[in-house]
Structure 1
Amino acid sequence: MTPPPPLPATVAAAPDADFGASTPPQAAAARSSFYWGMKVLPRPRREAIFAVYAFCREVDDIADEPGRSRDEKLAGLAEWRRRVDALYGGPPAAPYALEPALRDAVDRFGMAREDFLAVIEGMEMDALGPVRAPDLATLDHYCDCVAAAVGRLAVRAFGCPDAPGRDLADRLGRALQLTNILRDLGEDAADGRLYLPRETLVRHGITAEDPQAVLRHPALPAVCREIAATAEAHFAAAEAAAARCPRATVRPARIMAAVYRGTLDRLRAEDWRDPSRRVRLSRARKLWLVLRHGVL
């Protein structure tokens, strides 16, 4: 396999301290489904996307870092709000390694301030305490913040037209995040989190909010099937939105959709019999999807 594409110099050269205790973004991206969709982008667009990815890693690591108090997490996220404001003409923030790459992405592709801030808001929702069985409206807002907003930043770099690009981001973001939730049930439960919506749980006779108790409930597969159907509807709507965009601009989105749809198919086949087991697609399968959607 070829090595991962380079990050912008300001990101690639950043010391580990600038990215907290997390893996540097390039290496992390290379292990993620995200990376496979980005391989097909021309270098300037790819570098903008990796800058966005590095930003997302930064704020996610703040929200999830063990040992930090809630107040420390919120303070770290507030600093990122100041940094985002500074990118759009607000008071200058203290220098940080990612700033030149983010500023270039914002200036070159017209990324919206409110989408960066929405991502931070989603991280604040996690930082405030373990999410447990949110209502449907709260879950949808969370998905918009942590996934659809990232998509809205990404489609600017992809070069998608505004209206169908936004539709694509909003629908695909929700599809991807619901798939993540269904894939990561065991991992989230170990952290005291449960993102399955309360209304769906209650409809299937699950009233407990303790994550481990929910995972042991015999009705869990029925809950997950219902959420999987919602994710599939979002995938279908995203596909329709992608059809309204020039083909070259949606190749990364099509690759990511194919990878996550493959994961959703495997989850459905296993029917959540062991929710602690995390389903993954093989590297060969991901490469085939890149070739299918990125070249053909």
Structure 2
Amino acid sequence: MAEERSKVAAIGTFASAADHAECRRLHRRYGTTYYFATQRFPAAIRRRVHALYGFVRVPDEWVDNPAHTNKDAQSRALSDYRAQLLRGLEGVRPEEPALRAFCDVVHEVRMPLEEPLLFLDAMQMDLTVDRYETYRDLRGYMRGSASAVGLMMCAALEAGDDPEMLAAAQALGEAMQLTNFLRDVAEDAARGRIYLPQEDLRSFGVTEDEIFSGVISDRFCNLMKFEIARARALYALADIGIPMLPPCAQKAVQLARVLYSRI
């Protein structure tokens, strides 16, 4: 496994213009806030970011689409996606357009493979884990679902390896993921998932039945205020790293941060 996680692409170009166009289409359709901010990037970086979005969106769609209810089939699809990625980095052309574009980006910027694999691990977790007892447990999930995306973005931006900058990128990924959780409480509950830590529900006296029923009580509002403060603290940590990014990337990332924090 350690060897698998350390590989990077050493092969040439897979993706066609149509593959990159498909990634851009996915980004525009499903990630409108991110897509709008992405327009501030130079063209070469924008292409990489669209490819990264395509890479994460395809498996996320398999996991979150209400039409996909067969967990065995979802797990097999994720395993095949992972296998295509690994084969792609060995020179075998992936079948999935988004993977073809992403493999080219991994090769282009010499992206460490650990982060894409951690992301795919988190997608597999979504098929089997639907509660998190503590915030620490939730952060373990977000290491793959969110922090890894922040680090992949740093690689796509060729932002370097300053530890403070990378920590800020992880904080921004977590802040945006928490924003999603707070926005999508009802949507996640409809899928049988509660991302809000169980310890926090108990602390504020909110029951799972209230979450599933959509009850908006004072206790629930206080819980949400607590989680919002947690997200805002992460956004503040992220702000430290934005000036450390390449100048050509700072405006786009700052815009995404501002827009997303207002959702």
Shorter chain as denominator, the TM-score bin is 0.7 to 0.9
> What does the per-residue CA deviation read over 1:106-165, in whole Å, with 9 as the maximum and x for residues that have no partner?
111122211111111121121225x23542122112222112211111111223221244
**Are the aligned partners of 1:132 and 1:211 in contact in 2 as well (CA < 8 Å)?**
no
Partner AA of 2:98 in structure 1: L
Contact 2:85/2:103 (8 A) holds in 1: no
| Residues 180-215 of structure 1 deviation map (CA, whole Å, 9 limit, x = unaligned) | 111112222222221111111111123436632574
Q: TM-score, normalised by structure 1?
A: 0.75
1:142-221 map, 5 Å: 142-163=141-162, 164-208=164-208, 211-213=211-213, 215-221=215-221
Return closer, same or farther for 1:215/1:145 CA change in 2, 3 Å cut-off: farther
Structure 1 stretches lacking a partner, 5+ long = 1-6, 264-296
Q: Name the Cα RMSD after superposition.
A: 2.6
Matched with 2:137 is 138
The corresponding residue for 2:71 is 70
Residues 227/13 of structure 1: CA separation in 2 closer, same or farther (3 Å cut): closer
Structure 2 counterpart of 1:123? 123
Judged with a 3 Å threshold, the aligned counterparts in structure 2 of structure 1 residues 192 and 215 are, in CA distance, closer, same or farther, namely farther
Aligned equivalents of 1:41, 1:219: Cα separation in 2: 42
Which residue of 2 is the match for residue 292 of structure 1? none
Aligned to 1:250: 250
- C-alpha distance in 1 between matches for 2:107 and 2:94: 19
- 1:34-72 C-alpha deviation (Å, 9 max, x unpaired): 112211111121111111111111101111232441111
Q: Which among 7, 12, 19 is matched to residue 11 of structure 1?
A: 19
Q: Which has the higher helix share?
A: 2
Hey, what's the Cα distance between the residues in 2 that align with 1:13 and 1:206?
45
Identity percentage of aligned residues: 26
Q: 1:176 to 1:77 in 2, by over 3 A?
A: same
Which letter maps to 1:102?
F
Q: Does 59-68 or 234-243 show the bigger shift? A: 59-68
AA partner of residue 247 (structure 1): P
Check conservation: 2:20, 2:47, Cα contact below 8 A: no
* Alignment coverage as a number of residue pairs: 247
Where do residues 48-63 of structure 1 align in structure 2 (5 Å cutoff)? 48-63=48-63
Describe the SS at the equivalent of 1:219.
Answer: helix
Distance 1:202 1:170, change over 3 A: same
Instruction: Look up the match of 2:9.
Output: none
SS in 1 for 2:97: coil
Relative contact order, higher structure (CA 8 A, sep 6+): 2
User: Does the aligned pair in 2 maintain the 1:33–1:256 contact within 8 Å?
Assistant: yes
Q: Which residue of 2 aligns with 1:280?
A: none
Letter in 2 for 1:137: R
Rounded to whole Å, the distance in 2 between the matches of 1:126 and 1:99 is 21
Cα displacement (A) at 1:217: 4.4
Residue pair 1:84, 1:113 contacting (<8 A) in 2 also: no
Provide the rounded CA distance (Å) in 1 between the counterparts of 2:75 and 2:261: 34
Question: Would the aligned equivalents of 1:182 and 1:224 in 2 still touch at CA under 8 Å?
Answer: yes
Provide the C-alpha distance between the structure 2 equivalents of 1:156 and 1:183, rounded to a whole number of angstroms.
28
Which residue does the alignment assign to 1:80? 81
Please state if 1:235 is matched with 2:252: no
* Residues 1:13 and 1:256: Cα distance change in structure 2 (over 3 Å): closer
Distance 2:94 2:245 in 1: 39
1:211–1:128 CA distance, 2 compared to 1 (3 A)? same
Distance in 2, matches of 1:39 and 1:88, equals: 28
